[in-house]
Amino acid sequence: MKDRVKRRRIRWVALGAIAVLVVAVLGGGWFLRQRQGRAAKGIFDAGDVVTAFVGDLASSASASGQLLPKQQAKLALTGVGLVEAVHVRDGDRVRAGDVLVQLEAGGLARAVETAKQNLAIQEATLAELLKKADARDVAAAEAGVANAQAQLDDLLAGPSAEELAQVRAALVSAQARLDDLLAGPSAEELAQARAALVSAQAVLRAAKARTAALDDQLVGAQNDIHNAQIQKDRAHDAYEQLVWNDWKAGVSWAPYSPQGVAVKKAQVSYDWAIANRTLTEINVNDSGPRSVQAQVAQAEANLALLTEEKTVQIAAARSQLARAEKNLALLTEEKTVQIANARAQLAQAQASLDKLLDGASEEQAAIARSRVAQARVSLQDAQANLEKAALVAPFDGLVTDVYVAIGEQVSGPAIELVNTDSMHVVLDVDEVDLGEIEVGQETRVDLEAWPDLEFEAEVASIAPQAKNVAGTVTYEVWLSVDWGSDPDAGGISVLTGMTANADLITGSRKNVLLVPNLAITADRDEGTYYVYRVSGEGVREVQVTIGLRDRTYTEITSGLQEGDELVIDYAEARDAGGFGRRGPFGGG
């Protein structure tokens, strides 16, 4: 993995027992401090002498990436229709289950209600089918069977003698009626009708004569009333005058005077005249010609009925005769059709009774249950279609984009939602370094936005599929970050897409023998490593075995001991004549 060019501070410096006392003895001042700083950064010059020491070592690899949410989705509506409402906008925070976008759903809601009603009907039908027969229903069905059997028995037995006699008598009567009408009236009937008319006319003439006399009496009675009215008025006027005089004189004997008596007599005469006229009017009405004229009209009508043509009556008589003949034929002819119908009615009544007693068949129950299940599925489909009209947040998160507006026809994504509560760092790691990385491996992360803050993290997952960008093969490595591990991290805001840098710790050793990387010479062909050790006999090449290494130091697993002095780049220093300078770890 390539070293980062951006500013990085050395986080893991190999610790060891450096020769601080040597620095104090030499008192190299400014020059020594410069060399120590260079050594701490792994910068040595050819010919420098360094000392092998025991310390801790951690190797790491660096990589850069981005902050990405664990959950991120472009949400689309699965239903079809026009947008009725948009309940969110960019930057809104929502909870799982919140409705984000709503389509027009009036028709879908009605479809749900219809499906509910259909399910209720099918369930009621099934319950009715499985219900045990009621005693009253069984009794009614048994009565229906008995009635149908009786009707069939009657048809099979044929008509009784009494029924035949009644029908034949009706036929004879109808025939006689028709014959009478066709023959016309007899001489005796005509004579009787004419005599009745003559008698009624004679009575009418006598009534008219009496009416004339009574009319004269009525006129006289009317005159009597008129005269009595005049006498009454005169007596009343005289009496009123007397009453007036008595009032002025202060006396009251008028009721007993001759005038008072005359008033009473005049009233009696008037009442008698009224009664006489009423009686005369009654006599006129009772014995007048109007009542007798009705008798004459009836006699004339009777005579006309005898003499006029009986077309209507004859037609009615013929119809009555035809009905009588048909009734007789119905009784006497074979009842094949009626018997077949009666047998069918009996079979139907018996089947209804058997159904009540036996209950529904397995096939009928299965069909009814199937219809209930189908109705339930239809309801679920209608409810699902209604739910599709609403876009619901699948998780808590932040709305980053809204792609729809009210009135639009939906197509494609409608809302983009990210969960910013748990952000991951996603690194692009070169395939060369992938072998040193495994899930659970510890690392440290900092952000370009806050370079002075460092967060602990670990490898959460490694992508199984590689990416090839401009010829470089990389794998995505996801880091789970503890954003609360840094005490100075309070108040920061981590956002999607921020650049993050990570040091992946590939290995660590404690209390191991360490030497600077520049003190080691590698034989690539043989796969061996050498150092140049200073001894009493001079500088000798010594083969060593190496272990873990970081950017500055390498672990020596065999070939050296703590305190051994080594020459940096001995061959170059010897050629340049610069051998013998002591490094900060050179022991003097």
Residues 474-501 have a mean pLDDT of 77
Per-residue pLDDT at 135: 73
Reading phi first (left if > 0) and then psi (alpha if -120 to 50, else beta), residue 460 is in: alpha
Residues 541-553 have a mean pLDDT of 89
Residue 15 has pLDDT above 50, yes or no: no
Percent with pLDDT over 70 in the chain: 76
Per-residue pLDDT at 373: 95
552-584 pLDDT tens trace: 899 999 999 999 999 998 877 777 665 554 444
Contact 395, 417 (CB under 8 A): yes
Residues 237-244 have a mean pLDDT of 76
Contact 443, 479 (CB under 8 A): yes
Residue 323: C-alpha distances to residues 167, 170, 179, 368, 556 (Å): 10, 9, 16, 51, 136
Which of the two residues, 370 and 311, has the higher pLDDT score? 370
Residue 176 has pLDDT above 70, yes or no: yes
CA distance linking residue 444 with residue 502, whole number of Å: 6
Secondary structure class of 507 (helix, strand, coil): strand
Residue 250 has pLDDT above 70, yes or no: no
The radius of gyration of the chain from alpha carbons, rounded to an integer in Å, stands at 67
Residues 198-208 have a mean pLDDT of 70
H/E stretch holding 271 reads: helix 258-286
Mean pLDDT of the chain: 78
Which of the two residues, 212 and 553, has the higher pLDDT score? 553
Sorted by sequence, the CB contacts under 8 Å of residue 332 that are 6+ apart come out as 159, 164
CA distance linking residue 55 with residue 16, whole number of Å: 4
Residue 368 has pLDDT above 80, yes or no: yes
Residues 9-18 have a mean pLDDT of 29
Residue reference for tokens 């009418």: 204
Residue extents of the structural domains in the chain:
15-70+422-576, 109-132+360-388, 161-182+316-334, 185-309
Which of the two residues, 348 and 291, has the higher pLDDT score? 348
Residue 127 has pLDDT above 50, yes or no: yes
Confidence category of residue 245, pLDDT binned at 50, 70, 90: confident
Residue 407 has pLDDT above 80, yes or no: yes
Contact 54, 377 (CB under 8 A): no
So what CATH class is 15-70+422-576? mainly beta
CA distance linking residue 289 with residue 343, whole number of Å: 70
Residue 20 has pLDDT above 50, yes or no: no
